[in-house]
Structures are given as structure tokens and as C-alpha cells.
Amino acid sequence: IYFLAPLDDVLGAFGDRGYRLVNLEAGIAGGRAYLAAYAQGFGASGLTFYDRLVVEFFAPHAAGRDAIFVTALGRSAAGGRATIGTTLGRPRRPPA
């Protein structure tokens, strides 16, 4: 999932703090994607970056926006399930 933001507009409205704001919003949405992925037995990884080529790839839909954050969702190449071994110190039961 690519998170894009109209960074110039946000910086114009909020100054340098605008960069933090777009990263915060993207991070919250990415975190929700993480939770959904793990709940379904998949994995997730988030990356912050700046890449003009990503914006060009999504053009014209991405016109005037900058790439802020990406969340990769999926399963390992071996097809294994991603699991969290414990929940608050207690062993977790495997899904039915």
C-alpha cells in the first residue's frame, strides 16, 4: 500500500511540521494495515522513503503528491504463516 500526500500544500499550510503530520497519518493507516494482516495470518512491513519514481508510476493519479510511506503485506515465499508467539506472556493458541 503506497501512501501519497500533497506535501507542498501541507507544508504551505503547516510549515515544516506538515512533514510530521503526513508521516503520522500514513503511519496510523499503515499500522491498521499491519493489524489486519497479522489477524489474517499474513505479515507486514512498513518503509519510509522518498522516491519520485513512485509518483511517476502512479501518474496521473499522483499528480501533485509525494510518496511518504509504503506498507508491504503478504506471506513468506515458503508459504508459512506469520504468527505472534505470545500474547502478554501467555502462549497463543493457533487459529482453528
Task: Answer whether residue 96 is part of any domain.
Answer: no
Report pTM: 0.69
Instruction: Provide the residue range defining the domain that includes 60.
Output: 2-91
Place of cell 511518504: 68
CATH number at residue 77: 3.40.109.10
Assign 44 to helix, strand or coil: strand
For the chain, the domain total comes to: 1
Task: Answer whether residue 7 is part of any domain.
Answer: yes
Task: Answer whether residue 56 is part of any domain.
Answer: yes
Task: Answer whether residue 54 is part of any domain.
Answer: yes
pLDDT tens for each residue of 41-89: 898 998 887 778 888 888 788 888 988 889 999 986 665 555 555 445 5
Task: Compute the distance between CA of residue 58 and CA of residue 45 in angstroms, rounded to an integer.
Answer: 21
